[in-house]
């Protein structure tokens, strides 16, 4: 069983984060790990939150799945179009959760793997890395559907990806796009939502990631400088993202 957080077992609703990345030393030291980063964005008093380290092969056992109201699928250093055993196991679980109509919120890798589980096409981004603070544009129908949340038409978010959703799953709809990425967000029915950006990230996490990617020679100096400049130029709209993600995950729309 993954680690826990929050109120008593019987009190309130239950959520789980399927963690698809290893915690970096920096995020552990400064934020207590990615699980706590998600809980600080999405958690509320009286809820119970658990973490399952999916990338290490840890997933909720079948008999526990029904006890959860919703699941968050995190980002990852791995490719959502890969075929590692843990990715195949995660796909099987997601297919089961979709059929049970559990609330599913996917972020970055999570957005891509949900799309794949539903029959969409994913792969390397045609326009390369998207790194830094990017302004995405929710569609008119999304702004209308979420009218009670007053979602702005320009919505900055932290991005850190080089893969993307190429083609939507059948019966899914695009919720937002950006200059670089055609499918920044998608929705399938009322219980699956994918977000290509990282609403949970803080600017310091982004700066740390840029430095790591540079050290690993995954990006060039010019990419790093442009990404850091975008972070200095504009903050992500964390409050708008918080409202949107919480309302969706908790089925309060």
Helix then strand then coil, % of the chain, to nearest 5: 35, 25, 40
E strands, 77-189, are 103-107, 121-124, 130-138, 155-161, 163-167, 172-177, 185-188
Q: Residue 3's closest CA among 73, 40, 58, 43?
A: 58
Q: Mind giving me the DSSP string for 18-75?
A: EE-SPPPHHHHHHHS-HHHHHHHHH--TT-EEEEEEGGGT----HHHHTT-SEEEE--
- The residues annotated with a catalytic role in the active site are 108, 198, 200
Digits of tens for pLDDT over the chain (253 positions)? Answer: 455 555 444 358 999 999 999 999 999 999 999 999 999 999 999 999 999 999 999 999 989 999 999 999 999 999 999 999 999 999 999 999 999 999 999 999 999 999 999 999 999 999 999 999 999 999 999 999 889 999 999 999 999 999 999 999 999 999 999 999 999 999 999 999 999 999 999 999 999 999 999 999 999 999 999 999 999 998 999 999 999 999 999 988 7
pLDDT confidence of residue 16: 98
- Long-range residue pairs from 148-153, CB within 8 A, at least 24 positions apart, any chain: 148/253, 149/240, 149/243, 149/244, 149/247, 149/253, 151/240, 151/243, 151/244, 152/237, 152/240
Helix count and strand count (H, E) for the chain: 9, 12
- 3-state secondary structure at position 201: coil
Q: How far is the C-alpha of 31 from the C-alpha of 28, rounded, in Å? A: 6
pTM: 0.94
- 3-state secondary structure at position 177: strand
pLDDT confidence of residue 121: 97
Q: How far is the C-alpha of 141 from the C-alpha of 26, rounded, in Å? A: 39
Tell me the HSE value of 3 on the side-chain side, using a 13 A CA sphere. Answer: 9
pLDDT confidence of residue 61: 92
- Give the DSSP letter of residue 227: H
Q: Does domain 4-249 have CATH number 3.50.50.60?
A: no
pLDDT confidence of residue 29: 97
Q: How far is the C-alpha of 80 from the C-alpha of 77, rounded, in Å? A: 9
pLDDT confidence of residue 217: 93
Q: Answer whether 160's CB lies under 8 Å from 75's CB.
A: yes
- Report in angstroms the alpha-carbon separations of 22 from 19, 37, 202: 8, 13, 17
Q: How far is the C-alpha of 176 from the C-alpha of 185, rounded, in Å? A: 5
Q: How far is the C-alpha of 104 from the C-alpha of 25, rounded, in Å? A: 28
């Amino acid at each position: 069983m993954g680690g826990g957080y929050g109120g008593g077992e019987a009190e309130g609703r239950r959520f789980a984060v399927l963690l698809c990345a290893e915690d970096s030393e920096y995020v552990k030291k400064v934020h207590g790990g990615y699980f706590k980063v998600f809980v600080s964005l999405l958690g509320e008093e009286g809820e119970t939150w658990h973490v399952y380290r999916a990338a290490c092969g840890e997933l909720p056992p079948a008999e526990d799945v029904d006890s959860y109201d919703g699941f968050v699928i995190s980002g990852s250093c791995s490719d959502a179009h890969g075929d590692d055993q843990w990715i195949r196991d995660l796909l099987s679980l997601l297919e089961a959760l979709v059929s049970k109509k559990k609330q599913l919120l996917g972020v970055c890798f999570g957005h891509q793997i949900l799309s794949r589980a539903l029959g969409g096409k994913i792969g390397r981004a045609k326009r390369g890395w998207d790194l830094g603070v990017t302004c995405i544009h929710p569609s008119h129908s999304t702004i209308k559907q979420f009218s009670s949340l007053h979602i702005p038409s320009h919505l900055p978010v932290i991005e850190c990806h080089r893969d993307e959703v190429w083609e939507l799953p059948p019966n899914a709809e695009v919720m937002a796009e950006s200059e670089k990425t055609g499918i920044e967000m998608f929705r399938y029915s009322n219980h699956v939502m994918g977000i290509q950006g990282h609403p949970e990230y803080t600017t310091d996490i982004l700066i740390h990631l840029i430095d790591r990617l540079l050290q690993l020679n995954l990006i060039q100096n010019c990419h790093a400088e442009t990404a850091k400049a975008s972070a200095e130029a504009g903050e992500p709209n964390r409050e708008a993202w918080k409202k949107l993600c919480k309302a969706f995950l908790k089925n309060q729309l």
